[in-house]
Amino acid sequence: MARPRIVVLTGAGISAESGVATFRDAGGLWEGHSVEDVATPEGFARDPDTVLRFYDERRRAVASVPPNPAHVALARLEAFVGDELLVITQNVDDLHERAGTRNLVHMHGELARALCAGCGTRPEWSTDLIDRPACPRCGDRMLRPDVVWFGEMPYGLDRIEDAVFGCDIFVSIGTSGEVYPAAGYVALATAGGAWTIELNLEPSAAAVPFDDVRRGPASVLVPAWVDEQLAGRT
Ligand code: BV8
């Protein structure tokens, strides 16, 4: 598989205008819950019901909202450039897919999948887990949300690091740059010689400066940036 020329990293900010709560903004997810309680293996072991309910609520909330113009614009870009574009998302929602993006890595997992702590299978999942449904493969009742909790290894790291280091253009959209290894990718892209741009409402805690920074809502900044990429192609 050819190395993508353009790598896009997205965070909760790209889904905010679809009505999906972000983490650190006012009223964010972490405001209602402590990270330790709902997003760590230890928290799950301590109180699985609270964790399963937290993710069941998020799965239902995400199912009720649509992708926004930022998601749609990235899918439009993929339609033109194909494998030249790779989207790496920290988000566990499926709004990129529902907008049409296919070249996508969910580095922190997906609400649309479960993970069997018994046999390790990761079946597509669309209903609650609080009632401990049986695993479709091994029958055990040890299904958890297929999300990467703090202290757990993110998905697809080799493919991600190869793409980020090898790309020509690295774009960061709607992320605060607080969580690693994702927060270190602008530095990796810069080390690989990429031109880097941040599209974000507020300054992020980026490890190294971006070549270009644009402030504003993703639903405005992303379609405008995609139009620039496609200028002369359409
Ligand atoms: C790991 C899934 C071993 C669950 C998530 C190095 C230094 C320090 C610490 C560490 C380190 N390396 C590892 C760590 C520990 C830890 C970490 O980073 N801790 C932090 C808190 C210091 N990392 C880990 O544990 C990771 N695992 O390291 O494994 C390893 C790995 C590799 C190699 C060797 C060993 C696993 C971390 C994953 C945890 N799971 N999510 C769930 O979703 O519930 S993290 C979760 O929080 C998200 O996925 C995301 O990553 C993060 C939230 O950040 P954002 O998405 O950026 O959202 P946020 O609300 O913060 O910001 C929103 C932004 O959007 C803001 O800037 C805002 O201005 C902007 N915005 C808002 N609205 C809009 C907008 N922008 C545009 N338009 C708008 N409308």
What is the average per-residue pLDDT within 54-75? 97
Predicted local distance difference test score (pLDDT) of residue 168: 97
pLDDT band at 194 (very low <50, low <70, confident <90, very high): very high
Measured from the CB, is residue 24 less than 6 Å from ligand 1?
A: yes
Cα 148 to Cα 217: distance, rounded to the nearest angstrom: 27
* Residue 27 pLDDT exceeds 70: no
Cβ pair 219, 70 in contact under 8 A: yes
pTM over 0.75: yes
What's the CA-to-centroid distance between 176 and ligand 1, angstroms?
A: 8
Peptide bond into 181 cis (omega under 30): yes
pLDDT in tens, 114-151: 999 999 999 999 999 999 999 999 999 999 999 999 99
Cα 13 to Cα 176: distance, rounded to the nearest angstrom: 8
Predicted local distance difference test score (pLDDT) of residue 233: 67
- Pick from 127, 80, 94, 96: nearest CA to 9: 96
Measured from the CB, is residue 95 less than 6 Å from ligand 1?
A: no
pLDDT in tens, 167-184: 999 999 999 999 999 999
Predicted local distance difference test score (pLDDT) of residue 28: 67
Q: What is the mean pLDDT of the chain?
A: 94
Cα 22 to Cα 58: distance, rounded to the nearest angstrom: 11
* Residue 85 pLDDT exceeds 90: yes
pLDDT band at 29 (very low <50, low <70, confident <90, very high): low
Burial class (CB in 10 A: 0-12, 13-18, 19+), 201: middle
Options 71, 96, 106, 108, the catalytic residue: 108
Annotate 85-152 with DSSP letters as a single string: EEEEE---S-HHHHHT--SEEETTEEEEEEEETTT----B--S-STT-PPPTTT--S-EEEEE--TTS
Burial class (CB in 10 A: 0-12, 13-18, 19+), 64: exposed
H-helix segments, 33-94: 35-38, 41-46, 48-63, 69-81
What's the CA-to-centroid distance between 182 and ligand 1, angstroms?
A: 7
103: Cα separation from own chain's centroid: 13
Cβ pair 110, 58 in contact under 8 A: no
* Of 32 and 197, more confident: 197
Cα 188 to Cα 181: distance, rounded to the nearest angstrom: 10
SS3 content of the chain, % helix, strand, coil (to 5): 40, 20, 45
Q: Which two tokens stand for residue 170?
A: 């690295």
* Residue 20 pLDDT exceeds 90: yes
Predicted local distance difference test score (pLDDT) of residue 140: 96
Predicted local distance difference test score (pLDDT) of residue 23: 79
Predicted local distance difference test score (pLDDT) of residue 207: 73
What's the CA-to-centroid distance between 90 and ligand 1, angstroms?
A: 7
Q: Which two tokens stand for residue 97?
A: 């897919």
* Residue 234 pLDDT exceeds 90: no
Measured from the CB, is residue 181 less than 6 Å from ligand 1?
A: yes
Residue 108 annotated as catalytic: yes
* Of 43 and 232, more confident: 43
* Residue 3 pLDDT exceeds 90: no
Cβ pair 204, 172 in contact under 8 A: yes
